[in-house]
Amino acid sequence: MIPKKVKEILEKQHYEIVGNHSAVQICRWTKQSLRGKGVCWKEKFYGIDCHRCCQFSPAVMWCENQCLHCWRAIEYNLGTNLKDVDEPKKILDGIIKARKKLLIGFKGNENVSMKKFKEALEPNFFTCSLSGEPTLYPKLPEMIKEIKKRKAIAYVVTNGQNPEMIKKFEKEKALPTQIVVSTNAPNEKLFKIWHNSMRKDAWKRFKNYWRMERENSKSNSINSC
């Protein structure tokens, strides 16, 4: 459960809280796309409809790291233990509903294409990259399956601290469409300084993640970038 104070801070930053631990926010590039002022790299390089991209998190303020470069409210980091975990379908239904609430103001903007606006209300690209570490959500494989069941793309951005989740993806046949690992340091010394992780074995976990990712990439199981 997100503490009241943290929830109030997130809502001031235009997050919509969903359930016990999830949240959604409208990406700047989604807003730009709706106004006809440009699109993000996902659309430029992968042909993803920027205005239909749903940026959310199933673990909005839970993360192992307190990275020096992070622009989120890391001083309110809630750690790594998610309790009272919500079901994937419930989260996704809530995320879509909350996202519609955040988008509704664009309907009255004369610079917004109504065609794009209507399409935006039905996202076809779900990216776990908003805040927090998505692989801390234990039912992430089930969520990936639910996203694909909705004929949408499942995109996961991770800090690489939970390599066991890769095994879980494989075991449950729930590999995301794409996984991106945040790599911000070239060696252990800088890694420890830069990421300020709660885990003593953070560097080891990170290297294990990359080892597993490379093995999966060779078999084309995971598309990484």
Q: Determine the pLDDT at residue 156.
A: 94
Give the mean pLDDT of 176-198.
88
180 is written with which tokens?
Answer: 């991106």
> Is residue 56 domain-resident?
yes
What's the predicted TM-score (pTM) here? Answer: 0.87
Of 102 and 67, the one with more pLDDT = 102
Of 218 and 115, the one with more pLDDT = 115
Q: Determine the pLDDT at residue 215.
A: 63
Q: Cβ distance 134 to 157 under 8 Å?
A: yes
Domain count, the chain: 1
State what percent of residues in the chain have pLDDT above 70.
93
Q: Determine the pLDDT at residue 5.
A: 92
> Is residue 224 domain-resident?
no
**Rounded to an integer, what distance in angstroms lies between the CA atom of residue 34 and that of residue 124?**
15
- Say whether pLDDT at 106 is over 80: yes
Q: Cβ distance 22 to 60 under 8 Å?
A: yes
> Is residue 223 domain-resident?
no
Most confident of 61-65, 142-146, 171-175, 200-204: 142-146
- pLDDT-derived band at 186 (thresholds 50, 70, 90) equals confident
Q: Average pLDDT of the chain? A: 89
Q: How many residues does the chain have?
A: 225
> Is residue 225 domain-resident?
no
> Is residue 209 domain-resident?
yes
> Is residue 161 domain-resident?
yes
> Is residue 195 domain-resident?
yes
Task: Look up the domain containing 115 and give its range.
Answer: 4-218
> Is residue 184 domain-resident?
yes
CATH number, residue 15: 3.20.20.70
- Say whether pLDDT at 141 is over 90: yes
**Rounded to an integer, what distance in angstroms lies between the CA atom of residue 57 and that of residue 17?**
10
Q: Determine the pLDDT at residue 216.
A: 61
